Structure formats: C-alpha cells, structure tokens
Structure 1
Amino acid sequence: MTEPLRIAIAGLGTVGAGVVRLLTGNAELITARAGRPIEIVAVNARERKKDRGVDLTPYRWQDDLGLMAEADDVDVVVELIGGSDGPAIAFARKALKAGKGLVSANKAMIAHHGAELATLAEEAGKPLKFEAAVAGGIPVIKALGGGAAANEISSLFGILNGTCNYILSEMEQKGSNFADVLKEAQALGYAEADPTFDIDGIDAAHKLAILASLAFGTQISFEEVETRGIREIEAVDIERAAALGYRIRLVGETRYDDGRLFQRVHPVLVPVNHPLAKVDGSLNAVVADGNFVGRLTFEGAGAGAGPTASAVVADIIDIARGELQPAFGVPASALAPAAPAHSDAGKGRSYVRVAVADEPGVMADLTAILRDCDVSIESLIQRGDAGDGGVFIAMITHETEHSRLAEAVRRMADCKAVLSQPMRMDLLD
C-alpha cells in the first residue's frame, strides 16, 4: 500500500509537538519502516497562537474536536488531550464510532474507560493503541501483547512514575527532606505545580491497572489498586534504609492467583543489589515473570517529549502496516472479572520507623507489642534526633503476616511514648 495514512492530532503540548517534530524530522525513515507515508492532516489545541517550536502551517487547524473526529480525510486520530473524562473521552468515543483508528498517550482515560474503548474499536474493526500511556518510551505494552504473548505471566512489578523516582533519588544523594526536593523538582520541570497525581501514587496506579489487564487478561480495575504515595517519607527513612542495605522506591506490583487480582502501588525498601535499586532519576523500569521466557526487565525514560512521542509514533507505524489486534491482547468481552486480593492477606518482611520519647522502658513496650502480635525483629537501629527530646527507632522484621504487623503498628501508635504515627514500608524481596 502506497497511499498515505492520514492522521489528526488533538493536543499540542510537549508530547503533541514532539510527535509533529518526529514525524517531520524522520519522515523518510518512518515511511520506509511503515511501508507508506504518514501524513498529518489536521491539528487541534486550546491555544492556537502559542509558539510550540514546530511549524504547524502545513496542517488544517480544526477548532471543533467533533468535526476532527468525523473528518472524511482522517484515518487515525491521536488523542493527546489528557484527563480521564471531559473532551478526551468524548473525542475518543466519537472517533471510534466514526470508524477511525485511535492512538492515545492518556493513561487516565485508558485506566478508566479502556474496556469500553476497546469494545468500540472492535465493533468498528479499527485499532486502539496506547503504548505511550505506560512507561513513556519503554515498549512494555508491545512486549506483553506481542513478544511475551505465548507466556503465562505470574507477576509484574516496577517503577512507573519518574517524578517520584527523581525525588527519592535526590533525597538519597543529597540527604534532603521530601518537601525541599519536591520544590526543586517543580522548579526544574520534573514535577507539576500540583503534583498530587504523581506523589500520591495515582499516576502509577493508572499505569499498573493497564499493565495488569494486559498481563493477566483481566478486566481493568483501577478502583481496586491499593495506592499510597511518598509524602510520608522523610530523610531519616532514606538514611536508615541505606544503613540497613536498602533503597526506597515507589513500586507498583500486581499478580493474579486463583481468580484474585493483587494490585498495589506503595513505597518499598529494595535491596541495594536489586535491579530496581539501580534505577535512578526520572527513569522507569518494568519487570515481568513469564513461565517460559523467564524474567523480562525493561528500563528507560518514562516521560518527556522525545520518549513519549516515540511511543506514539510507533503505534501509528503499526497501524500504517495494517496491524490490527485486540487492544488488551484478547477481545474486550473475554477480559476476565477478578476479585481483589488485598495486601494484608499476604506475608513478607517490613520496615517500621517509630519516633519515641528517649526514656527507659520504651523499647520494652514496643517489643512487647511485637511479641503479642507474633512479629519478630531481624535488625534494628536506634539513633538520631526525632525532635521534642525523642529518638528514631528503625527496624526490619522477619517474614510475618502483614495483618499481624498492621495490628502491631496500630498498637504502637497508641503508646504514650510514641511521638508520631509510625511509618511502615514493606520490603521487595
């Protein structure tokens, strides 16, 4: 086929401008690999006159998203608007119903409405692709749906948010507090003015829900992702973790056993010799275990104009080649319902940090609580000024039932000598 694939781009922010730049700058290479030219027909954004560093004059400016979605001279629409609802989902629905292929980098929309959009795409006989929605330029969706498609995936975990990883890495290197590093990250553009989605784990939870559906063939269940961010982590936790042989990372974990789907985003202690401990700065990494292929590890830039635009254009190239497969590896109607498996049902080792009054008998009180809850200590550090005449106690437990440790932490919080809410993080073993 030599006829061009005609696309329309909705959203010209960092990624959208990057897509235009990549399609024009690598046009000859992309045409050769796609087997046909890829032609930008129309574009749309909120501000028409904004300087985006790319020449948009060759393309039709389409103010009405509805008209863009239904235009006769458009084969594929690229949704880069963002947001789980509002204009993004309305545009996506209309485009698929009009018989257009859809490429999106919108993890929130896919996490909330992915099954619906996949159904619309299948009914229209058109592709739905969203490689750029998870882990930026890392081709993990293509790997799970293609290269590892013959494998049963037993578990998947990884670092899915570059902002949190940058903040934790900087806290490690500088010994700074969370609030100070967050301000630096915002000044450098690594964190948004409102960083809630990133630092509270919501962005990573969107991505994890998508990956879980792809890995296990289950229905997307973003609402069931247990989500906890990094606001509570202090410099003392970074220092204690290092002294005990660990680094702290925000990790998303998922596995599927006996019809139950475990999904959790939370800060964990990672052994210093573990591959994820070496993922620094704004990088992302995803690890999947297949029953025949073994362990697969993907690492790379999880955000930014270049990596994300690369993933968007890779999806467009696939469509130009005529590739058409279910968005989640199986038809949307075949995605299996899954009951949630919550974290307190499992076992593992954990880190607990407690600020206590520096007075006799406190350690005995804490160890009594642990004894009564059947929790034993593997290693412990007691030093450092916790303010108000207090000291920090940091410990690593032996493997125990998470429910028992949760009860122990609740009892510790009620002790008169405990000065603040204890901090608990699990270990990634």
Structure 2
Amino acid sequence: MTSVHRNTASSSVTSPLRLGIAGLGTVGTGVIRLLREHADLLRHRTGRSIEVVAVSARNRTRDRGIDLSGLHWHDDPVALANDPNVDVIVELMGGAEGTAHTLVTEALKAGKAVVTANKALVARHAEELAHLSHQHGAPLLFEAAVAGGIPAIKVVREGVAADALTRLGGILNGTSNFILTEMAETGRAFEDVLKEAQDKGYAEADPSADIDGWDAAHKLSILTAIAFRPIVFDSLAVSGMRRITTDDIHQARKLGYAIKMLGVARRLPEDRVEAWVQPCLIPARSGLAQVNGVYNALTTEGPFSGPITISGQGAGEGPTADAVMADVIDLARGHGLPLWGRVDEQAPIPCEPVEGLVSRFYLRITLEGSVEAETALEDIRTVLGNEDVAVEKGHHHTSQKGDAQLILLTGPVTLGGINRILPLLEEMPLIKGTPLALKVEDLP
C-alpha cells in the first residue's frame, strides 16, 4: 500500500509552523534571515506564520550577524527532536553519520517532519529513512540536498511524475564546474584554480568530496532513487577530475568538445539502473557545455515529457536557504510525500557494472622525449587495433610542460576494453606515465 503521511507539521493551518534549526552556518543563518525578511510574503502564500523557535550549533557565543535572542538554545542538537514546541526539524549540520543521523532518525521516530540539506545522509541511509518516515507518518524533505538553488527534486518527483523517465543527469557540483570553467577561460593550472575556489568558499579545505566526485554521487543517488528506484550507493561508479590539465581542456576544444564533470543515470530493461559520475567530453555546442562557473544543471528525458533542462546556482547561502524554505512551505501547506514511493519497493538495488558501457574515448598519451610522434602513433594504433579499437582522430602537440603528447579520439569501445588497454599502453617503452582516458558523452 502506498504510504500516506499524516503531516503533524500542518495539524492546524491557523497556528504558526514552528521550526527548530540544527546548524547555524551559512545556510542556517540564511534561512533565519529569509524567514524574517519575507515573513509577510510567506504568510500570504501558505496561510499561516512560519517561525524559528529553537536552534542548536556547536558554538553558542559566535557572532553570526543575526539576532538569536528569544530563541530557545539546545546545546545538544538531538534535543530538538523531543522539544514539544518544535513542529519541524531543519537539519543543516551535514555528515552521513553521527549527530546529524541521530537527530534525523529520532525526529522521525517522534513523528516530527524533517527538512534537510544533507545529501550524504539521504544518499547513504535511504532505505532506513524511508521506513522510518513511513512507519511514523513523518515527512522527510530534502530539496536543498541536490543542486541548491534549482528545484531538481521537485522536477523529478512532481514535474515529470507521470512519465517513465529514461535518463537523467547533468552538472551536479558547482565547485568542480567552477574549476573547469576557470581553467578553460584563463589557462590556469588545476591547483591554482582549486586554491581560488577554496579562498572564495566554494571548496572546503579538504576538497575531495567536490573534485573526486562524491558530492555529485550523493546527489545522483538521490535523484536516481526518485526517478527509478533506490540504488546501493557503493555500487555507483565514481571517478574524479584531479588528472585533468589545461592542455586537456584546450585539446578537447580543438576536437569540438568541452570537459564537464557529469553525473548520469539511465533506466535499463528489467528494472535495472546504470549510474556513474566522471569527467566527460561533451559537444561544445550542447546546452550543458554553456553551463559555467558555480552553476548546476539537470536534464531529464522521458517518452512523453521529452528533454527538460533546468539550471541555476548550485550552492551558497541564498540559493540553498531558498531550497530549504521551499520544503518548509510545502509542509506549511500540508503536503507530505512518501520518500521514494511504495515502501515495499524501496530495497536498494546495485547499479549495473559500468565495464560494459560503450562510448568513444579521448586519450591523452605523453611520449618519452626522444620518440617521434608519427612513429609512436602507428605503434599505438597497432595496440589499439589488436583490441578492436579504432582511432577516429589523432594529432600530436607539445604540452605546457614541454612534453610531446598524442591526442586520440577512439571509436566505440566498452569501458572495460579501455581499462584493459591502458596498462598495455603504459608498458610501452615509448610512453611516459599513465595515459588519461575520458568518456565522450554525445549530448544534444
């Protein structure tokens, strides 16, 4: 039977909706600021007042630039779950485990609605949270967990709910997109642009979640669960962007492509799912290639809805606070949807192995100093030919570091085939280091 939530947050549409916020960083303070500045507008649009009544954060004395007097302070965030004056828990602490996980599970057990921006928590505990939400009739909403300022969740869960989507994906991480954009536009090295991203607050001191693809993977896992069905997160194929150089971006441009970090999921026959995150070459004239800076973009495709693309800022105080409030507004209006759908169909399934995916590939091969490029190209063509891989295009150039490099565009080959070929190339005496292979995703 389909889960129908009794929304305790909206038991009386005339009484105020009372929020307890855990986490008073950029987004948490942004939510309070938005609520105060747009109080009349929100009351008009929902028919009731929305107010923050309790908060919790690590440092009680820190100056956050907003007045917190009059709000009940909980030193322990989990205490918000049992505060009788709180209707909705807004979890903005982050982290898949620890206090955030305890707070959300305890709140759901107490029958309290939860709004969260915590993508890691939702992605890694999808099955547990779905069952708690269903069992206790407590909605869990997470629009802000995916792509911040664009309504990605609403588009997939509501906008195209009647269509059996065949594919979804796009640029799901603003930090990696900013880095690739700056490298393309300024010619600066990856490390230099990464430092700028950290200085601007786009990337954390430890940037691995952004540049190694895990942030995008969490978002893709959530979108896949809504569009198709929940997946086992650890089965999702994830590759990062640390090896991409400015040379790669310029050479891709010569071939008519841009390099973007993509997350893509496809529906396969027999209720199977393919999902991956990796840097790809996409046509320079495609819509996603025009999405630059810290912007995110999501494209969905279905037999009835066709392709739909939405784009906007993926992070920051304003966009993320607005996404949090979109969920709060839904609760104030009395809306509470099942997390993924039928609770008896929510057991996660593994993604299909990506080794069988067929694509063309961009190869960057660095040569030893004394090797003639034309001779090397013929030898490499032979190795590829022995594995039934054709070379559609090939040229050589000198990298910014002065190395001779071959740039090849292969014909269609499985990812497993490319992974078998790369060690063979690396063993060749004429090749220096490990070749780079990037998938070509031919988008409209």
Bin of the TM-score, shorter chain as denominator length = over 0.9
1:293 matched to 2:286? The reply is no
* Distance across 2 between alignment mates of 1:223 and 1:323: 32
Q: Specify the alignment match of 2:226 in structure 1.
A: 214
Q: Secondary structure at the match of 1:294?
A: coil
- The aligned residue for residue 377 of structure 1 is 391
**Residue 45 of structure 2: aligned partner:** 33
* Structure 1 CA distance for aligned equivalents of residues 233 and 391 of structure 2: 35
1:347 is the counterpart of 2:358: yes
Closer/same/farther in 2, CA of residues 339 and 195 from structure 1, 3 Å limit? closer
**Mapping 1:286-325, distance limit 5 Å:** 286-325=298-337
SS at match of 1:153: coil
- 2:377 is matched with which residue: 363, 366, 376? 363
Offset of residue 370 of structure 1: 0.9
User: What SS does the corresponding residue of 2:367 show, helix, strand or coil?
Assistant: strand
Shift of residue 411, structure 1, vs aligned partner: 1.0
1:145-294 → structure 2 map (5 Å cutoff): 145-216=157-228, 218-257=229-268, 258-294=270-306
Distance 1:118 1:56 in 2: 33
Q: Distance in 2 between matches of 1:415 and 1:10?
A: 56
Structure 2 residue corresponding to 1:4, chosen from 16, 19, 42: 16
SS in 2 for 1:138: coil
For 2:130 and 2:66, how far apart are their aligned partners in 1?
32
Following TM superposition, by how much is the alpha carbon of 1:347 offset from its aligned partner in structure 2, in angstroms?
Answer: 1.2
Runs ≥4 residues deviating over 3 A: none
Any conservation in 2 of the 1:240–1:381 contact (CA below 8 Å)?
A: no
Query: In structure 2, how many angstroms separate the alpha carbons of the residues matched to 1:355 and 1:128?
Result: 50
Indicate the SS of the match to 2:307: strand
Gaps of 5+ in 1: none
Q: TM-score, normalised by structure 1?
A: 0.97
Q: Work out the CA distance in 2 between the residues paired with 1:203 and 1:354.
A: 29
Q: Name the counterpart of 1:413.
A: 426
Partner SS state of residue 349, structure 1: strand
Structure 2 unaligned residues grouped into runs of 5+: 1-12
How much does 1:337 deviate?
A: 4.2
Between 50-59 and 418-427, the greater mean CA deviation after superposition: 50-59
- What RMSD over aligned residues (CA atoms) do the two structures have, in Å? 1.3
Aligned to 2:438: 425
After the TM superposition, which of the residue ranges 373-382 and 315-324 deviates more from structure 2? Answer: 373-382
- Aligned pair count reads 426
SS across alignment from 1:340: coil
Aligned amino acid, residue 185 of structure 1: A
Partner in structure 1 of residue 108 of structure 2: 96
Partner residue of 1:335 out of 316, 324, 346: 346
| 1:336 positional shift | 5.3
Residue of structure 2 aligned with 1:126, choices 131, 138, 141:
138
1:178-209 deviations in whole A, cap 9, x for unaligned? 11111121122221111111111111111111
Partner Cα separation in structure 1 for residue 441 and residue 200 of structure 2: 30
SS of equivalent to 1:230: coil
2:52 paired with 1:51: no
Q: Deviations over 1:301-355 (max 9, x none)?
A: 1000000000100100100111021022x03332254342122202111100000
Instruction: Name the SS for the 1:57 alignment partner.
Output: coil
**Which residue of structure 1 aligns with residue 128 of structure 2?**
116
Q: Percent identity?
A: 44
Is the contact made by 2:78 and 2:99 (CA closer than 8 Å) also made in structure 1?
A: no
Equivalent position of 2:119 in the other structure: 107
**1:110-166: CA deviation from partner (whole Å, max 9, x where unpaired):** 011122112111111121100000000111111111111100010111101111000
| Aligned partner (choices 71, 78, 92) of residue 83 of structure 2 | 71
Distance 1:386 1:324 in 2: 55
Q: 1:61 is matched with which residue?
A: 73
